[in-house]
Structure 1
Amino acid sequence: MANWLWSRCVFGPHLQRIHRSPDQSRPDGRGRRGCNYQPRLLEKHTDSLLGWASALWSISYYSSPLLLSYLYRKGYICSSKLVPVSQYLGTVVVCLLGVACLRGLGRWKNSEYVQFISILKETKENHTQTNKKKLRCYDFDFSHWPSDFSWTEVSNPKLSKAGVSLLKPEPRLRGAADSFLNTVRTLPCHIISYLIVHSFGRRMLYPGSVGLLQRAMRPMLQQGQAKLVEEFDGQRNKLVACDGNEIDTMFVDRRREGEPNSQTLVICCEGNAGFYEVGCMNTPLEGGYSVLGWNHPGFGGSTGVPLPQNEANAMDVVIQFATHELGFQLNDIVIYAWSIGGFSATWGVMSYPEIQSVVLDATFDDLLPLALKVMPASWRPLVQHTVRQYMNLNNADQLLKYQGPVLLIRRTRDEIITTTGPEDVMSNRGNDLLLKLLQHRYPKIMTDEGIRAVRHWLGASNPIEEASVRTRPTEMLCFPWSVGEDMTLEGRRQLALFLARKHMRNFETTHCTPLPASEFHSPWRL
């Protein structure tokens, strides 16, 4: 027993917080207060040393190409000099192992850590609801968290380890010889695009996956998670997607409260630097909904990297978890996304069309125009190839596959998804998303006259200008969707404006301002 406990303390996870837990024996339900874990002096200092060693290793790893090049030019990479270096590195490793053992000794003498590590062991051996409830009272390294749900638990013949299906850009028709020659000709472009995406490209697109940013935000993330667990009785779960990535999720169940919105589950898809701990989960929570938040691959406790295929795989296992483990029907689920989270959201409703509705806040139609905006004009062919092959966030194409209710929220001072600047509301790519949706659903209304009328309405940058574009039709005129061919031009114009207002709401703010609960509405239904 002592040997087991010693090894667990040496190699166990870093404990960060002990959450507040209710005491059922007390009438007021109050129990232990939440607090940050306080390590003993020995554990504190040794953990700090190991943290610095980890940071130095990360810096060395990412700078290794430059470092090796410098050492090679200086003549340090040779057999006579590599032996002393290897001996030096061996000494460092032995010292670090000694520091880890001293940290284990400090943990072994701390009764709170010993209690935690015993609960963790018991939960991994016997994954019952009682043990999981005990384990959820602790915040620790998520890599040690036992799995709560896996894609293998669901019988889905369309799902495999290769991943779920994505919409691919339509290939150009070529002959066999032309196709081969084109492949050879574009091979350098493929190699450069691959290197761009897997180096700085995806980190620019998803800055929340950068370790340094997560380290800087760690106190804020820990505070946000403590609030979700201690104030909203949130349940943290680890889901295993079909690609092997572990997805960090947080579920707040409101069904026992009996409120009007509590029976509806809102699945939240965060932005490119958003985490469920401090992201858009708070908006539906304030509205009384049951909420399921999750972190992108590579964000927070989730593993992997945020590429489109991994994003779709993660979204799939989140929906499967909601239906098979949490007990929600697809028609009880609303997907709510902010910014780049619109890709995961539109993939979700495209693949699960029975989902009740989707709300897209500050979301664009296609990544390519926004990528071209921030890159030099001379890079246009390379940027286009890179986006289409590796980062094809084609939100509009996916949304058009969904026939359910949709609500778009446009930030009128958005500085991120505009192509010319926040002062030009017509360059907001949310406009293009709305126009593509209306043209697809109401082709006989969205003729040239209807498109011009909607563009005029979209050009309004404030409520006064918006109100000046008046509409007269009633909701009865909008059924069936094929209405429009026997209408006058003025009738089509008025009906197009009516439909635009039903599918999009304006919010006078910038891109990163949190959406108030008062602005979160159920989409319009026919």
Structure 2
Amino acid sequence: MARTRWLKLSTMKLTWQCLFSPRLYKIYKDGPSESMYQAKGFEKWGDRVISSASTILNIGLYTSPFICMYIYKRGFFSIDECKGLARFFGGVGCILAISFIMRGLGRASNPKYVAFMKALTNTTADHTTYLSNIRNYDFEFRAWPVTYAVPPKLKSSWLQGHPFNNCANVELPMYQRTFIQVLAYVATHTFALRLIYPGSLGLIHTLFWDALFQGRAHLVESYDGKRSKLKTAEGNFLDTMFIDNRKLSTKGNTLVVCCEGNSGFYEIGIMTTPVKAGYSALGWNHPGFAGSTGLPYPEQEKNAIDAVMQFAINELKFEPEDIIMFGWSIGGYTAAWAAVNYPVKALVLDATFDDLLPLAENQMPSSWSLLVKEVVRSYVDLNVAELLSEYEGPIQLVRRTEDEIICIRPGLLSSNRGNHLLLRLLEVRHPEALTASNDSVVAVNRYIGLLESQRAALARSDISNTDRTSLLLISKYMRDYKSTHCTPLPENVFDSIVHNITNNRN
């Protein structure tokens, strides 16, 4: 009798835990690599109702202004209509409550889900064993335990960091300047940041969900990837993936920290390039991307990459001198920031621009120029060239010859903003070569817009010493790769770049 009562209480407790427990997506090494965890019976139907309700709610939030206008015009704010709406929402609430109960009962009766719950809640095991057990599963990232936390920073008061401290249009009269600042604040916090970082949109995450799931499963099952959750200094949580190749090759002793683009995720991004080349790799998702929380404002981005670097050094036990920063596109900003603030081995920037402002102005109507300038300079000032001026270590720039994203004029190589990034680098590192005469400046500007093959042909011809020096400087820091912006960099090209910059330190 006592045993029966204990079993009932245990079942009730398990069912209660399963009411709001995380959704399980996959049990690794349980069936084909592409297979997912299959919910059955009550769990399946409860999940469908809850997922449908969540989707409708998200759509409703985005369209809430139009819905409220419609309700107001139809007179639904009268007492009788409000009673009807209350009954409707009360009915929906009852259906959702029943769905949660059904899902909890279904999960509690599924041995595979029960085993997952035991692994997730068994926090009495030592930390290494606990992480090893839960890494056998893929589930909602919100429920992942924090693997590594950076000590929190003291937050400045609003008055110290309020948005109107800076102004990009100081030449305007006060009333115009104030209006532009207010407009820029509203624009940045509604749509502008999401235009710059489309990957932070929930819609993009929904559209990419299957690809992200399959990519993550591939990293875990093919390369023994280890997922971790980091907590940044401001309290955001980062979704990361580490692949350790230290036992497989000598190149594995070098860690490549991968910084993705504005719609890039580690699951389907640049991470596999260094892994296939034999290096260890650490990928992470920007704040607001996939499982990571927050939003990709520059300060949050810097805190994010700082947490990633501290995790790599303190938890994964890589020395900074054995870390290569690999940034693609807008990820060049965080990669360059880390290279400036940590004594890393090298910095590789692929398809990266010098400054966000020219690209933003090129995409927006000219009548918006003042607003665009205020938004970028005051809130999203991703000036990679300025960061590079502080970096003194080995570096290689990769320019895509058919880049359609960071070229001001598509198809025109001389308008690629990577050229300006190189120019800034040469101005800082070789001022004597560029200021010796006007001829050297003219030569660099003339040759930087040429293809690498064209410059190589010129170098073999009879040219002046000034021209030859210019060609050598360009080829020293920049390499061409024939492709569009989003084509993955082949592992042999990446391996060649790393070999060159680490053996011929520039």
State if a TM-score over 0.5 links the two structures.
Answer: yes
| Cα gap change, 1:91 to 1:187, in 2 (>3 Å) | farther
Aligned residues: 484
Q: CA deviation at 1:193?
A: 1.2
Post-superposition Cα deviations, 1:419-445, rounded to whole Å, max 9, x if no partner, equal 011x21000000000000001111010
For residues 446 and 243 of structure 1, the distance between their equivalents in structure 2, rounded to whole angstroms, comes to 42
Aligned counterparts, 1:373-392, within 5 A: 373-392=362-381
Instruction: Calculate the TM-score normalised by the size of structure 2.
Output: 0.90
State the SS of the aligned residue for 2:261: coil
Residues 169 and 195 of structure 1: is their aligned pair in 2 closer, same or farther, counting only changes over 3 Å? closer
- Judged with a 3 Å threshold, the aligned counterparts in structure 2 of structure 1 residues 122 and 10 are, in CA distance, closer, same or farther, namely same
Change (3 A) 1:441 1:58: same
Match of 1:253?
A: 244
Partner of 2:272: 282
Judging changes above 3 Å, is the alpha-carbon distance between structure 1 residues 430 and 254 closer, same or farther for their aligned structure 2 residues? Answer: same
Corresponding residue number in structure 2 for 1:507: 481
In the alignment, is the contact (CA less than 8 A) between 1:450 and 1:497 conserved in 2?
no
Aligned to 2:353: 364
Helix, strand or coil: the match of 1:255?
coil
Instruction: Name the CA shift for 1:96/1:192 in 2 (closer, same or farther; >3 Å).
Output: same
Cα offset for 1:284? 0.4
The one-character-per-residue Cα deviations of 1:167-186 (angstroms, maximum 9, x if unpaired) are x9997899xxx99x966542
2:164 corresponds to 1:146: no
What is the CA-CA distance between 1:309 and the residue it aligns to? 1.3
User: What residue in structure 2 maps to residue 409 of structure 1?
Assistant: 398
Aligned equivalent of 1:235? 226
State the distance in 2 between where 1:78 and 1:470 align.
82
Larger helix fraction of residues: 2
Match of 2:6 in 1: none
Q: Residue 8 of structure 1 aligns with which residue?
A: 17
Residues 461-506 of structure 1, C-alpha deviation per residue, up to 9 Å, x if partnerless? 362x23222179xxxxxxxxxxxxxxxx944442232121010000
Q: How does 1:2-41 map to 2 (within 5 A)?
A: 2-20=11-29, 34=33, 35-41=35-41
Distance 1:360 1:160 in 2: 32
- Partner Cα separation in structure 2 for residue 461 and residue 339 of structure 1: 20
Q: Is the 8 A contact 1:446 1:492 kept in 2?
A: no
Distance in 2 (alpha carbons) for counterparts of 1:94 and 1:315: 44
Taking a change above 3 Å as real, the CA distance of residues 33 and 201 of structure 1, as seen in their structure-2 partners, is: same
Q: Which residue of 2 aligns with 1:73?
A: 73
Tell me, in whole angstroms, the C-alpha distance in 2 between the residues paired with 1:108 and 1:519: 51
Q: In 1, Cα distance between the equivalents of 2:460 and 2:421?
A: 21
Partner-residue secondary structure (3-state), 2:268: coil
Rounded Cα–Cα distance in structure 2 between residues aligned with 1:388 and 1:172? 8
CA contact (8 A) 1:255 1:263 kept: yes
Does the 8 Å CA contact 1:366/1:394 hold for their aligned counterparts?
Answer: yes
Tell me, yes or no, if structure 1 residue 270 matches structure 2 residue 298.
no
Contact 1:453 1:496 in 2 (8 A): yes
Question: Partners of 1:169 and 1:87 in 2: how far apart?
Answer: 46
* Matching of residues 115-134 of structure 1 within 5 Å: 115-123=115-123, 125-126=124-125, 128-134=127-133
Structure 2 gap segments, 5+ residues each = 1-9
Write the distance in 2 (CA, Å) between the matches of 1:146 and 1:391.
Answer: 31
Q: Does 1:430 align with 2:432?
A: no
The secondary structure found in structure 2 opposite 1:505 is strand
Between the aligned partners of 1:390 and 1:88, the Cα distance in structure 2 is 43
CA distance in 1 between partners of 2:173 and 2:311 (Å): 43
1:119/1:361 CA distance change after superposition, 3 Å = same
- How do 1:116-195 residues align onto structure 2 when only pairs under 5 Å count? 116-123=116-123, 125-126=124-125, 128-152=127-151, 159-161=153-155, 185-195=176-186
| Amino acid in the other structure paired with 2:345 | Q
2:351 aligned with 1:351, yes or no?
Answer: no
Of the three residues 410, 421, 442, the one matched with 1:452 is 442
Q: Deviations over 1:4-24 (max 9, x none)?
A: 211121111110011128xxx
Indicate the residue corresponding to 2:212 in structure 1: 221
Equivalent-residue separation in structure 2 for 1:389 and 1:20 (angstroms): 49
Q: 1:38 to 1:438 in 2, by over 3 A?
A: same
Code of the residue aligned with 2:415 in structure 1: it is: S
Q: Give 3-state SS (helix, strand or coil) of 1:57's partner.
A: helix
Maintained 8 Å contact 2:346/2:393: yes
Q: CA deviation at 1:3?
A: 2.8
1:28-107 mapped onto 2 (5 Å cutoff)? 34=33, 35-107=35-107
Deviations 1:270-317 (A, max 9, x none): 011111111000110111001000001111111111111111110010
Q: State the distance in 2 between where 1:340 and 1:508 align.
A: 19
The aligned amino acid for 1:205 is I
> What is the CA-CA distance between 1:457 and the residue it aligns to?
2.4
Aligned counterpart, 1:476: none
Correspondent of 1:394 among 383, 389, 394 = 383
Report the 3-state secondary structure (helix = DSSP H, G, I; strand = E; otherwise coil) of the residue aligned with 2:441: helix
Q: Which amino acid aligns with 2:414?
A: M
* 2-structure distance, mates of 1:425, 1:338: 18
- What amino acid does structure 2 have at the position aligned with 1:107? R
Structure 2 partner of 1:440: 428
Q: Percent identity?
A: 41
Larger deviation: 327-336 or 194-203?
A: 194-203
More deviation, 506-515/305-314: 305-314
CA-to-partner distance for each residue in 1:78-116, whole Å, 9 max, x for gaps? 455334323322321122011111011111111000000
TM-score normalised to structure 1 length: 0.87
Corresponding residue number in structure 2 for 1:156:
none
Distance of aligned partners of 1:161 and 1:228 in 2 relative to their CA distance in 1, 3 Å threshold: farther
Native 8 Å contact 1:457 1:469 kept in 2: no
Higher alpha-carbon deviation: 385-394 or 209-218: 209-218
Superposed displacement of residue 364, structure 1: 0.1
Cα offset, 1:329, TM superposition: 0.9
Checking the alignment, whether the CA contact within 8 Å between 2:45 and 2:99 is kept in structure 1 is no
3-state DSSP class of the match of 1:261?
helix
AA of the residue aligned to 2:71: L
Q: Out of 144-153 and 312-321, give the one that drifted further.
A: 144-153
Instruction: Name the CA shift for 1:344/1:330 in 2 (closer, same or farther; >3 Å).
Output: same
1:308 aligned to 2:277?
Answer: no
Q: Quick check: 2:146–2:231 contact (8 Å CA) kept in 1?
A: yes
